[in-house]
Structure 1
Amino acid sequence: MFERFTQQARDAVTGAQQEARGLGHDRIGPEHLLLALIACDGPAAAAMRAQGVDAAAMRAAVARLAADADGDPLDPDALRTLGIDLDAVRQATERTFGEGALDAPPGRFRSSGKRHLPFGPSAKKSLELSLRQALRLKHNYIGAGHVLLGILQDRDPRAVRVLVESGADLDELRAEVTRLIVAEAAA
């Protein structure tokens, strides 16, 4: 499938990797694709900017989303049903690794190298849907605009939230990027 990607779409995919890594995330989601798309020139970025979306607002929304999701990943009630006492686990862990060891922020104990980050299921689906969007428009290539349409079709809650918090109207965004893709293909 990647052989059909234009350079702009390829740049968005590699840019998503950089965005996720820069935010300390351990996988690439559609929200990282959005950040990379708005950084590229082309129909996707133009359509998002026409909706009043800017990269800084979008990056802040992605960071807020990650912070909201971090919370306490250890559910004491769920662990208790399995016979695990979270307080006892915390105490034993802190005796061995130091105070707050279970509360480490994401990425704290990961290597800082330029390791490859995997695509999450929703990002993979968005990329697959970008192919369907290209075929729907009778294009034999996948451009950055098609990637945005794939993300919009998938309607991943994180991506939708990032776009809406950044000021986008999803239906208008879809219409605008489609208009721009068609105009670009006709030129």
Structure 2
Amino acid sequence: MALAAKNTLIEFNDGSENEALNLIAPCVAIPAWTEKLVAARPYLNVHVLQHYASQLTLDWGGEELNHALAAHPRIGEKAQGDGKEALFSKGEQSAVDTQNSALTLALAQGNAEYEERFGRVFLIRAKGRSGEDILTELHRRLNNSPAQEETEALEQLRQITLLRLEGVFAQ
């Protein structure tokens, strides 16, 4: 484990409840998840923390998804502000070529169609995906039933959250 990750874990384990919550809150806008993760301190190592965090995500359903989506920008749109969550989002979407006007328009149209069909923002783990890959997934997921799409969106939320948590402790 890197020294910085070890120091961050020490800060997380030994800090006040508020300090620990503030450290991981940008990972996902689901207060119950962050509160449970903080309440289970101390963690022996980052791997144990990540494993427990992953287990907690398995309890999420539609209510948690809708709550978390309130903090997510649309794919292809830049997150506003300079807070930790906005920085995470900007980094995750960095492979989306916003200079490609055809792609930007297609994503905007796809986002609008998705929101009309499912009543929420399209969510996908953007990290490691190109804008074209995201657009392909968006079009594929438009064919899902509402139940199928909720399941896929929750899985994407889990992946995003756990990647962000990994990022917190890799600093």
Structure having greater relative contact order (Cα 8 Å, sep ≥ 6)? 1
Instruction: Please give the TM-score of this superposition, normalised by the length of structure 2.
Output: 0.26
Between structure 1 and structure 2, the one with the greater Rg is 1
